[in-house]
Structures are given as C-alpha cells and as structure tokens.
Amino acid sequence: PIKFENYHKELSKNFKEKNLNISFLGRLHTELQEERSLILDYLEKNFDNTYFKRFKLNEVNRLTLRDYSNILNDSKIIFSPSGKVWDSVRHSEAAIYKSVPLISKPYCKLSSNINVTEDNSIFYDVKLLNNGFNIVDIDQLSNSINKVLQDEKLYFNKSNLWFQEMSNKNTLFERAKYIVEIIKSHLNKN
C-alpha cells in the first residue's frame, strides 16, 4: 500500500492527453520474476509510443519523483509486473494516475479482498515451458491491450474501476484496517 497524497499530482491527463501507450520504469528482477523481461520484450517489439526504462540492480541515477510521476501521468497503460511478490507499488501508482494496469494474474490470496478482473485491468498469465516462461495466451493479451488503446470509453471504465479498487482497499489506511480486523478475529478465537 502507498499514500496517494505523497505523489506529485497535477491535473490528471485524460485519454487524449496521454502521449504514451505503455510505460514501465524499474528493475527487471530476472532472478525473481523472469516473466518481466519476457513481457517487456514483447511489448517493446509490438507496440508504439512506449517508454521503458530498465534500471540495473544497484543503479542510483534514477528519475526524480516528479519526473517519474509525469511519465505515469502520461501513460494510458502501466506495465505492473510482480516484484519480489505479486503485489507491486506500481499497482497503486497506476490508480493514482488513472492508468490501466497491465498486471500478472494473481497467484496468491490478495489482502483486503482486492479484486483483479478484466473489468479493472489487463492481466496476463505465464507458464513454465521447456525451462523458460511463456505467455499463456499472447493473442488475447495483444487484443486486450489494443482494445484499451483504441477505445476511450473502455480505457475510462477500466482505469476508474482500478482507481476505486485501489483507493478503497490498498491505501495505507485501508490496509491497516484490514490488518486490525485480522488481529481482532484471532483475538476473539482465544
């Protein structure tokens, strides 16, 4: 969870004002999540108007929060792969800037009953095949991305539903309430 108020927010750009179709800024963590490189390479080869910045593990020359926020605000779709775990700060950052998250299908129970659906995101699934990862349905992924990029109403619906999901369930305050309820339920059992 993150504090939405910590992020630089000028007026959020609408669909037609956003110049980037897809963006990703971050480390690839290939030792943890090989799918990141696979998906990123696919996106880079098959979509235009993208911005991908891969940081090395110990790289310190990063963007300022303002510059980073401006790129997110300029993106229709934010590639938000799993990090060390499925949950990623980018999931919430996509919501802050009313972008559609391109996210991996959840492979664990999500806290606060977060719901990842085709209505609020674009998600993909990967599988291990011949000692490497492959996208389960590459055509479906491509079609889902293209539909969002070509249909302002679909983009608006998905990005707003994602914003509602994150702001109602994945802020620092909402996550703290979730943890308190779990503690209370365990205390009541004793």
Contacts of 34 (CB under 8 A, 6+ apart): 132, 133
Q: Is the pLDDT of residue 32 over 60?
A: no
What is the DSSP code (8-state) at residue 7? S
Contacts of 113 (CB under 8 A, 6+ apart): 169
What are 137-182's pLDDT values in tens digits? 989 999 999 999 999 999 999 999 999 999 888 888 888 888 898 8
Q: Are 56 and 26 in contact (CB under 8 A)?
A: no
Selected residue with higher pLDDT from 96 and 174: 96
- From CA 89, how far away is CA 109, in angstroms rounded? 17
Q: Is the pLDDT of residue 3 over 70?
A: yes
How many Cα atoms sit within 13 Å of 122 on the Cβ side? 27
Residue 81 burial (CB < 10 Å; 0-12/13-18/19+)? Answer: buried
Whole-structure pTM value: 0.87
Q: Where does 16-171 have alpha helices with state H?
A: 35-46, 65-73, 89-96, 138-150, 152-169
- Written as one string, the DSSP assignment of 132-146 is EEEETTHHHHHHHHH
What are 54-73's pLDDT values in tens digits? 877 676 667 888 898 899 99
- From CA 9, how far away is CA 183, in angstroms rounded? 35
pLDDT bin (cut points 50, 70, 90) of residue 77 is very high
